[in-house]
Amino acid sequence: MKKSLSFLIIDYLEHLEVELGRSQKTIENYDHYLRRFVSFMNYESVRPVPENITPDLVRKYRVYLHRYEMDDGTTFKQSTQNYHAIALRNFLKYLSKRDIDTLAAEKIEIGKAPARQVDFLDPEEVSRLLAAANGPNRATKRDRALLELLFSAGLRVSEIVSIDREDINLKRQEFSVRGKGDKVRIVFISDTAKDALKEYLEKRHDIDPALFIRDRVGTHKEADARGLRLTTRSVQRIVKKYAAKAGIVKDVHPHTLRHSFATDLLQNGADIRSVQEMLGHANITTTQIYTHVTNQNLKSIHDEFHGKGIKS
């Protein structure tokens, strides 16, 4: 009996984990995207088996993704639609390698995504955001240290929640972090981040290994089993809370501080290769999304240095 797509997806996810060494987040994303395709096949009353994947079915699926409305009434961005298509195409490549009869992966074309928008805070906004987390209690000390470290090290939200106390070296003001693709890089702690972390850790009297923890509420067994470590969603809420408190009207999230970190470095003269390394980008083209932000400095350079020896 031929395996259904649901079982083959499990095989594929295990392949991503074991043979390809993909991160847990990547595996979760592939699972999410591919399950949506199976749900669509069921919705279309098409038996979810490899041989039933046809060009016409994929075309209908692309139309479905383009028109899909979420609970808040918004639709998928073009990049999100592309992620679904990429996941399906890579899954089909895997099936082909296993000699399973299905649609050829090259039949799926990936639409061109619009240029990525980089949202960042200017120095004055960063100062207001950090100053908004100001108070004597442990939760506020934690939040200030969290915001300071996000901006100081340019960390992804998934990276900052995974840090343990023993990872941090305040004396050297640096530590290693494991990022995308399981790559390890060195990140640095600014003087203000160091002070904020020190004040926060002095308020800690627990033995939980996590650097950033929630305040224990009740004795919920599931929460106790998970430990006190902050989740990515908790960090997102904290950042938005202080952005609102600081009166910042932009849609601020943890990645905004990562963008601000990179933009700040480039605008102050850092070379793009160094910024690439500090961000942990495997490809410099990823880092180059920030260069258009810093191009505003080019006009003043042009005005200052160009054509000075030309007489009119």
The residue annotated as part of the active site, out of 22, 89, 259, 281, is: 281
Annotation says 156 is catalytic: yes
The residue annotated as part of the active site, out of 84, 194, 255, 259, is: 255
Annotation says 281 is catalytic: yes
The residue annotated as part of the active site, out of 22, 142, 194, 258, is: 258
**Residue 233: exposure state from Cβ atoms within 10 A (0-12, 13-18, ≥19):** exposed
| 114 three-state secondary structure | coil
Q: Which residue has the tokens 């600081």?
A: 246
The span from the CA of 252 to the CA of 269, in Å, is: 25
In angstroms, what CA-CA distances link 246 with 15, 127, 130, 239, 249?
Answer: 46, 9, 8, 11, 9
Annotation says 255 is catalytic: yes
The span from the CA of 189 to the CA of 168, in Å, is: 9
The residue annotated as part of the active site, out of 60, 178, 180, 240, is: 180
Annotation says 185 is catalytic: no
The span from the CA of 21 to the CA of 41, in Å, is: 29
Annotation says 62 is catalytic: no
Annotation says 68 is catalytic: no
Please, which residues bridge with residue 176 across strands? Answer: 186
Catalytic residue annotation:
156, 180, 255, 258, 281, 290
